[in-house]
Amino acid sequence: MKYTDGDYVVYNGTEICLVDGVTRKSFGDAENDYYVLNPSEAKSTYYVPVENEEKCLRHIISKEKAKAVLDNFNIQVNANNTSHNERKSVLLESAKNGDIDRIIEIANELYSEKIKRESAGKTLTGTDSRTFDLAKHILRNELEKFWYDEHTKEGYEFCKTPIMLNKELWEISGHMDHYKENMFFIQKDEDSDDQFVVKPMNCPFHILIYQA
């Protein structure tokens, strides 16, 4: 088996999961060994046949590949003659296989085409525009997966805080004194004095977590 308990892997080219061991299960008449995967962004469990690991699982990109994404993205290059639809197919296959270099090539080809067309007062075609957005999305996901894995290895714990909270927190923190004119307020109802504020910063929430 290529992966072991505690590994972080990319499932189907897009989703980061924690390998939570291997179990033997029966589906229909067949009994096989399955990886137990816990996705990082969903409360569910996936069972992937060990025999299919090469088809749908791969390791997170290395530090060298992550650096390559940052160093080599948005560089103007000469576009090849690949058709719009073929370019998208190659992009999806490259994402599944973890071919980051090819994804960067496609992104830079489309970036160069975008600059060229804009200089002539035009825009990318609808197909190329969607493919370019997808390429950027894939590269960002790869960097986020790498970042998540590196921080997890160092023992960091992740937290998510509310998008908005009662204005009292922002009065205590001092944000109201400095940023009130740029903050977005939501009143609970017409007869209530309660006001909620869309958070302008994360620090008050993290302080509350630290104090708990």
Reported as a single tens digit per residue, the pLDDT across 142-178 is 888 888 888 888 999 888 888 888 888 888 999 888 8
CA dihedral for 85, 86, 89, 95, sign (positive or negative)? negative
Does residue 131 register a pLDDT over 70? Answer: yes
The neighbouring-strand residues paired with 19 are: 37
What is the distance between the alpha carbons of residues 15 and 157, in angstroms, rounded to a whole number? 19
Distance from C-alpha of 18 to C-alpha of 38, rounded to nearest angstrom: 5
Q: What is the pTM (predicted TM-score) of this model?
A: 0.67
**54 near 48, Cβ under 8 Å?**
no
- Rounded to whole angstroms, what are the CA distances from 35 to 39, 118, 145, 146, 194? 12, 48, 19, 21, 49
**What CA–CA distance (Å, rounded) separates 6 from 8?**
7
Q: What is the pLDDT of residues 14-29, one digit of tens each?
A: 788 889 999 998 877 8
